[in-house]
Structures are given as C-alpha cells and as structure tokens.
C-alpha cells in the first residue's frame, strides 16, 4: 500500500509540474493574456477537468512554488519547542532553505515568472496571494511551536520576515546572470538574505 501511495504521489507531482511547464511555456510564447486553460491542458496532455484538479485558474498554473510547509519539516520545526524569537526565526529560515534545496526551481523558470508578473497585474496579484497563503502556513507552524495564536503579532511577524528573506534571495538569484554552476541553485542567495536579516536584527 505504501509503495502504491508513493507512486501515486509521484505521478501527481509530475502531472502538476507538466501543467505548470506547459502554462509557463505558452505564456512566454503567446503572451499570458492570450492563453487559455484549454490551451494549457492540450499542451500538457491532460483534460481541462484534470487541470482544475491541480490549479484553480491559469494564473496559479503559471506560478511555481508551495502554498504550505511540508508536513514533515513543519513537524520537526514545531517539536523543537519554545525559544527566543530570534532563535525561532533562525530555525525558520533554515527550514525554508532546506525545503528550497529539496525542491529548487530552475533559474530560467523563475526569471520568466518574475518577468511575467512585472507585465501582468493579474499574475502579480496571484503571486502575492500565493506568498500570503504560504506566510499563513508558516505563521501556523510558528504559533504551534510558541503555543500562541496564528494571527498573533509574533508568529505573523516572524513568518513575514522569513518569507521576505526567501523572496529577496529568490529574486536576486533569478534576475542575475549566472557566473558559475554553483549559481544554478538559489540556496546561497536565500542563505545570504537570511544571514543579512539576522545581522540586522542582532543587537
């Protein structure tokens, strides 16, 4: 049963990646405003019904990235227990870096996504909504660890700071020209943003 579930999960992840890749390619080739769900579905080799099992609209399909923390990583973070907010923030940024290392996007893909969001307000709004959803997921994990309300000031602020460091690093990585093979990973950029954040917050 476990192997069957694992295979099913891998197939679902692959289908999601295929739909996203098709949506992004079509948006770059034809312009985001001109593509439709039917076009994306045909390019990905799935039915429109299958498309809507994975994405609510074409904006969501073009945008990569998670909307919540992986359960396993979140559980590890939560079980470390209460600590000073600076320590929790450090653990949180490490958690995001680890998840990013396990699910690293491609530089050209992220560059294309950021370029599209600058040209299409609907895509920018969808990206901001994606980050907002992810931030709420992060705040929930922080709140559980600190035994506070998810909408409390500390969980909300820590989640926002950690996600800002991640987004800043990702944007710098995506928009800079690659200088070496090591630059193909966004992890060093996000780590640098997280370290700068810690430096700014250290008394």
The pLDDT value given to residue 13 = 80
- pTM value is 0.78
The pLDDT value given to residue 50 = 96
Tell me the per-residue pLDDT of 50-94, one tens digit each, with 9 for 90 and over: 999 999 999 999 987 767 788 888 899 999 988 999 999 999 999
Superfamily for 2-58? Homeodomain-like (1.10.10.60)
DSSP tag of 150: T
Closest among 142, 182, 189 to 165, alpha carbons compared? 189
The pLDDT value given to residue 26 = 96
The pLDDT value given to residue 183 = 58
Superfamily for 71-201? Tetracycline Repressor, domain 2 (1.10.357.10)
Residue ranges, the chain, pLDDT below 50:
2, 179-181
Where exactly are the structural domains of the chain? 2-58, 71-201
DSSP tag of 33: G
Cα distances (angstroms) measured from residue 147 to each of 68, 84, 131, 141, 158: 19, 13, 24, 10, 14
């Amino acid at each position: 049963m476990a192997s069957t579930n694992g295979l099913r999960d891998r197939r679902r992840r692959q289908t999601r990646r295929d739909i996203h890749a098709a949506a992004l390619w079509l948006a770059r080739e034809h312009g985001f405003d001109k593509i439709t769900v039917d076009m994306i579905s045909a390019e990905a080799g799935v039915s429109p019904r299958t498309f809507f099992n994975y994405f609510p609209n074409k904006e969501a399909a073009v945008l990569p990235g998670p909307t919540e923390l992986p359960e396993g990583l979140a559980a590890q973070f939560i079980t470390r227990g209460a600590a000073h907010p600076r320590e929790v923030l450090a653990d949180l940024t490490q958690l995001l870096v680890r998840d990013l290392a396990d699910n690293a996007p491609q530089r050209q893909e992220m560059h294309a996504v950021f370029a599209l969001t600058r040209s299409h307000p609907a895509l920018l709004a969808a990206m901001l909504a994606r980050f907002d959803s992810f931030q709420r997921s992060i705040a929930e994990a922080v709140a559980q660890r600190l035994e506070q309300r998810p909408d409390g000031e500390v969980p909300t602020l820590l989640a926002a700071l950690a996600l800002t460091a991640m987004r800043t690093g990702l944007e710098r990585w995506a928009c800079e020209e690659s200088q070496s093979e090591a630059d193909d990973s966004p992890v060093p950029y996000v780590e640098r943003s997280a370290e700068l954040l810690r430096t700014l917050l250290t008394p």
